[in-house]
Structure formats: structure tokens, C-alpha cells
Amino acid sequence: MSDDSKAATRWREDFPVRWDADHYLTRRELTKFLTLGSGILTCATVALAIAPRDSPNTQYPALLIPSATRLLPGTSLLFRYPTDQDPCILIKTGRGELKAYSQVCTHLSCAVRFDAEGNTIACPCHRGFFAVEDGRPTGGPPTRSLPRVSLETRADGVYAIGMEF
């Protein structure tokens, strides 16, 4: 046997499928494959259903929000809580109530802004709107409420003390 034929034999052993049979797939195999995918999707959905669930209220170390007491009604200021990577917005409503939310839009994570004229929280990226009172979505593509920052007024100022999701 020549060297060429030996090489061809080895090649055949490594790749035993014929070229014309390479794309051959019976409907039965495709049905099996789809049913396997169906099982995987079911497992993933069940895993989500039994996964550990976060508490809706999470406590973090209290953080003083500078200048919060000097905020005028109908204005807002930005701060970061609970870490420096988490932008939040503090709003003083026309009635003088302080409300604070995560500044990350629940749609596609753009930064939301307070719109004093419309008395709403607006996301400029896709025109999403949230209620100032409770952070629920009121218009546009967002379907989830903004996470709320729990506030506590102490003698020396306003503190962020946790998040409500």
C-alpha cells in the first residue's frame, strides 16, 4: 500500500461520514432534537420557579445624602447608593415629600431624569415614564417599577437605608 493510500485510509477513519450524507437528517432525529430542546426549556423554566428569591426589601448600611435637606420642592439631586456603581435620584415633590429611586431605567438601563413640569420620572432613551409617587411605570416600554430607595430623616440629614425592589 502506497503512502497516499495509507493517508487516505487514516483520513477515512477520522471522518467516516460520506460527503453526500453529511447534511442528511431524518425527520425522526429532528423530532428528537426538538423534544430534547423542549425538555431543556422546561428545566430552565422550572429552575427559575424554584430558584431562591430575593427579599423585596434589602437593608444596606445607612448613607447620608448630602444637600438633601436643602432640596427645593419640584427639584431633584443625584446620588449613589448602595455602592458607587449604583446611581440614584432623590426627588422632592411639590408637596415637599422626599422620594428616591434607582436612576437605572428598568427597560434598557438608561439614566432616568425627573421632569418637574410633568411631575414624572422620564427616561429619554425610549420615552419611558414612571410615577414620582411610587416608581411604577406609567408609559412607554418599561414594565417594571423603579427600585425605591428607603429613606430616613435623622437630626443631621436624610439617610438612604435600603432598597425596595
Partner 1 sequence: MQTLQQGTALFTGILVLIGTLVIIQLWLLTAALEAFLARSYHVLIPAAASSAVLFVFNALLLRYVVTFDERIRREGGRPH
Task: Find the binder of partner 1 among 6, 10, 12, 30 (CB under 8 A).
Answer: 30
d(CA 145, CA 134): 8
Contacting partner 1 (CB under 8 A), which of 8, 44, 78, 108?
Answer: 44
35 makes contact with partner 1 (CB under 8 A): yes
Kindly state whether residue 106 participates in binding partner 1, applying the rule CB under 8 A.
yes
Which helix (H) or strand (E) element contains residue 75? strand 75-80
Q: Is 21 in the site for partner 1 (CB under 8 A)?
A: no
d(CA 149, CA 159): 10
At 27, phi and psi to the nearest 5? -65, -30
The closest alpha carbon to 101, from 93, 55, 27, 118, belongs to: 93
Which grid coordinates are listed for 64? 447620608
Which range in 14-22, 24-32, 64-72, 86-94 contacts partner 1 by CB under 8 A? 24-32
Residue 42: helix, strand or coil by DSSP? helix
Closer to partner 1 by Cβ: residue 10 or 32: 32
Pattern 133-152, partner 1, x by CB under 8 A: ----------xxx-------
Site for partner 1 contains 25 (CB under 8 A): no
